[in-house]
Structure 1
Amino acid sequence: MASMEILETELTKMLGIKFPIIMAPMFLVSNTEMVIEATRAGITGAIPSLNYRTDEEFRQALKEMKSKVAGPIGINLIVNKSNFRLKEQLAICVEEKIDFIITSLGNPKLVIEKCKKHGIKVFCDVTEEVYAKKVEQLGADALIAVNSSAGGHAGNMEAKDLIPLLKSVCNIPVISAGGVGKGEQLQEMLDLGACGISMGSIFIASEEAGVSDAYKEAIVKYGKDDIVMTDKLSGTPCTVINTPYVQEIGTQQNWLERLLNKHKKLKKYMKMLTFYKGMKSLQKAAFGATYKTLWCAGPSIEHVTQVQPVSEIVANFIKNYWDKKKGSQLTSFFLVYRHFRSAI
């Protein structure tokens, strides 16, 4: 069957997967069941370590996943100072023999140093050339190029500019993150030089996701034109669905918040407070019925038409890829054939 064919790239070789897709780590959304089903479907997935309240919960989740699937399992670690549990989380990842780690929002030096000794791959989120060069020098195994169509904390550049740029200045593989919601778009990223993709938003509308039905229905109902950027959640611009509540509260910090964020001594604490309040708001909206709907998502929700099991989402995506791939190859064959016929 076409959907079971293997597409070999640098990413599939590194992780031993059949198709070059990482189910992106999503704060509050990603869970063990989603990653288990993704791995069984021939791709892989990662979960933010901060989705677990305690280190013991985190460890048990890793044990559960490793016991149920033979394929690779990934974890996303926030590597800046706001994650005071980083060292403990990293130690648990090493002890439980996690296959790969995705680092975000900070310096991955400690993570790379620890993981290199144990054969754990480290992929680093990057949005620009300067940071990409730095993490390559530190020993990262691959770059995750977060473009301007990514969900959550998006980058500033479009994929068509970011991927070729990173390929031109770095020698490690580049994984594209953002804007892909159907199979035929994967080929566009591969043609730009990526070795695979990291995508998350379309999996929010999966049966395995533990978020509310209202959140899943919003992923189906809304589209790319309904995604807006807000700095009210974490202090760093973040993409959310433009619900009536978001329209009511606005997407920009008020004058007092902006003033405090510019204060040299106070801005660090202000950002931490904004992050804490924002994450609490996201949590309430993700799991409960509330009119205060703050739902994080990216433009790729444009391609979501129904809630499905993870296995079906992956199978449909891969089928779409091969259908379009073979369709374009057939078109090319007929064009060559027609040219040949007209020449004789």
Structure 2
Amino acid sequence: MTIPPVLSRLRLPVIGSPLFIISNPDLVIAQCKAGVVGSFPALNAREKEGEPIELERWLTRITEELDRHNQANPDQPAAPFAVNQIVHRSNARLERDVEICVKHKVPVWITSLGAQEWVNEAAHSVGGITLHDVINNRFARKAIEKGADGLIAVAAGAGGHAGALSPMALVQEIREWFDGPLALSGAIATGDSILAAQAMGADFAYIGSAFIATEEANAVAGYKQMIADSGASDIVYSNLFTGVWGNYLKPSIAAAGMDPDNLERSAPSTMDFGPNRQKPKSWKEIWGSGQGIGAVKEVVPAAVLVDRLEREYRAARDRLFRAVPA
């Protein structure tokens, strides 16, 4: 298995997943300085009509701040950052946002909800790599056929839009034919689970929910605290809220006046990432989360979270080597 040079010198084999609304420049910069890939959805950078393009400002700030960090810390350079593009027909901004990412030579592109050759070609034109997130082996093959460099296996237990397959089954099937970069998403919030992802055959752990409960994350205090107070049994899997199956915090659903154990189903045709999409007001504070949050006990700076993950990862590796000698 070959790791692309841009991802070969991480402090930990971790990619911070792009969190809708929550991932912002503060969080991305903190993740990268801590030595793991930070990412954000391009659609998080929003501006009102007539205002300067926010995505331009975000990319300029991230690039300049990480460059300053690298100049001041040549022995501990920041990890690269990634931008997530929603490749869905309802995303009217896609072409514009791709052009901006090309202009700023974004090093890592994460694509979701559709694989498009022209997006991969745009990334490659400036030396970037693309990682496409998938929920099954069929979508994985299609993504590679259309030019993606790597895959993100979104397995059962992942936060936000998630698949229903066991991570062991999904990684196993992908690795039967694909030896390129592979990240695994699904209930990963400890150093032990990062090592487990590698043991299964993934190169990287894809971690999102744990980063919600960080000081830099653009989430309200109640959301962060709910992450810290909840566990796997507090997660419900539903497609009601976006038309795509995903995991959400039961207490937030109950607070919106709904029964989290008896939710209606929605249709994929309701999926909409356009600027005029409307959601019921009662859904405003329904919060996504993965099943791994039982490991999250408090709200901390992102760097402190990465420190914990590294300690646990090294301890788990040492424990495993002692238990299973070479």
The Cα of 1:198 is off from its aligned counterpart by 0.9
Q: Which residue of 1 aligns with 2:60?
A: 63
Q: Percent identity?
A: 29
The Cα of 1:152 is off from its aligned counterpart by 0.5
Q: Which residue of 1 aligns with 2:307?
A: 315
Residue 53 of structure 1 pairs with residue 63 of structure 2: no
The Cα of 1:246 is off from its aligned counterpart by 5.5
Q: How many residues align?
A: 307
Q: Which residue of 1 aligns with 2:73?
A: none
Q: For residue 19 of structure 2, what is the amino acid of its counterpart?
A: M
Structure with max Cα Rg: 1
Of the three residues 70, 75, 80, the one matched with 2:83 is 75
Say whether the 8 Å CA contact 2:115–2:142 is kept in structure 1: no
Residue 159 of structure 1 pairs with residue 167 of structure 2: yes
State the Cα deviation string for residues 13-57 of structure 1 (Å, max 9, x = none): 635422211110000111111111111111111100111113711
Say whether the 8 Å CA contact 1:101–1:120 is kept in structure 2: yes
Say whether the 8 Å CA contact 1:25–1:48 is kept in structure 2: yes
Q: Partners in 2 of 1:26 and 1:144 — Cα distance?
A: 15
State the Cα deviation string for residues 260-283 of structure 1 (Å, max 9, x = none): x4xxxxx74x4439993349766x
- Listed as ranges, the gaps of 5+ residues in structure 2 are 68-77
The Cα of 1:107 is off from its aligned counterpart by 2.4
Q: Considering only aligned residues, what root-mean-square deviation do their CA atoms show, in Å?
A: 2.4
Of the three residues 100, 110, 114, the one matched with 2:108 is 100
Q: Partners in 2 of 1:226 and 1:31 — Cα distance?
A: 26
Q: Partners in 2 of 1:253 and 1:331 — Cα distance?
A: 47
State the Cα deviation string for residues 106-135 of structure 1 (Å, max 9, x = none): 123221011112111100001111211111
Q: Which residue of 1 aligns with 2:216?
A: 208
The Cα of 1:174 is off from its aligned counterpart by 1.4
1:1-344 to structure 2, matched below 5 A, reads 10=3, 14=7, 16-54=9-47, 56-70=53-67, 71=78, 72-243=80-251, 244-245=254-255, 248-250=258-260, 252-253=263-264, 261=267, 268=269, 270-272=270-272, 276-278=277-279, 284-285=284-285, 294-332=286-324
Q: Residues 13 and 76 (structure 1 numbering): CA distance in 2 closer, same or farther, change over 3 Å?
A: closer
State the Cα deviation string for residues 258-308 of structure 1 (Å, max 9, x = none): 6xx4xxxxx74x4439993349766x42xxxxxxxx111111111100110
Q: For residue 123 of structure 1, what is the amino acid of its counterpart?
A: L
Q: Secondary structure at the match of 1:202?
A: helix
- TM-score, normalised to structure 2, is 0.87
- Listed as ranges, the gaps of 5+ residues in structure 1 are 1-7, 262-266, 286-293, 337-344
The Cα of 1:239 is off from its aligned counterpart by 1.1
The Cα of 1:313 is off from its aligned counterpart by 0.1
Q: Which residue of 2 aligns with 1:289?
A: none
